[in-house]
């Protein structure tokens, strides 16, 4: 369980770094890990034993707006689709500059369902 927590924290951390380096200053991060989101926003990050959580907290305190939000796994169709595509074989960051059409369709569905 701790490994999953750390892996998800690392994914958020790397996503924040990428967003910052690309010049985004308004970022929304969605995760189905309620404990991780709670740890970051409710003051537990500074005392966390997980270095990634401490670093996420530091990155969130930069001069930008970051919203972290818990979503149900079923509500995030894009993440679910991408996870099934790689089947646990992903060990590096992949940036899709032009996502495949099935991913774009799912993104639209996710946006439509959140409105």
Which domains are assigned to the chain? 4-114 (3.30.420.10)
Task: Give me the helix-helix angle, 2-21 and 51-60, nearest 10°.
Answer: 30
Q: Does the pLDDT at position 76 exceed 80?
A: no
Q: Coil, strand, or helix at residue 113?
A: helix
Give me the percent of the chain exceeding a pLDDT of 90.
29
pLDDT in tens, 37-62: 988 887 666 667 788 988 998 999 99
Q: Does the pLDDT at position 89 exceed 70?
A: no
Contacts of 50 (CB under 8 A, 6+ apart): 5, 6, 9, 39
pLDDT in tens, 100-109: 888 888 888 8
Beta bridge partners of 30: 69
Q: Three-state SS string across 29-89, please?
A: EEECCHHHHHHHHCCCHHHCCCHHHHHHHHHHCCCCEEEEEECCHHHCHHHHHHHHHHCCC
């Amino acid at each position: 369980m701790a490994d999953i927590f750390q892996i998800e924290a690392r994914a958020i951390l790397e996503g924040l770094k990428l967003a910052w380096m690309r010049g985004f200053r308004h970022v929304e991060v969605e995760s189905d890990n309620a404990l991780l989101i709670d740890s970051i926003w409710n003051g537990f990050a500074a005392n966390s034993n997980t270095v990634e959580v401490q670093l996420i907290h530091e990155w969130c305190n930069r001069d930008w707006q970051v919203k972290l939000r818990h979503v149900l796994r079923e509500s995030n169709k894009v993440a679910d689709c991408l996870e099934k595509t790689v089947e646990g074989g992903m060990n590096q960051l992949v940036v899709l500059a032009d996502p495949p059409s099935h991913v774009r369709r799912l993104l639209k569905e996710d946006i439509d369902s959140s409105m």
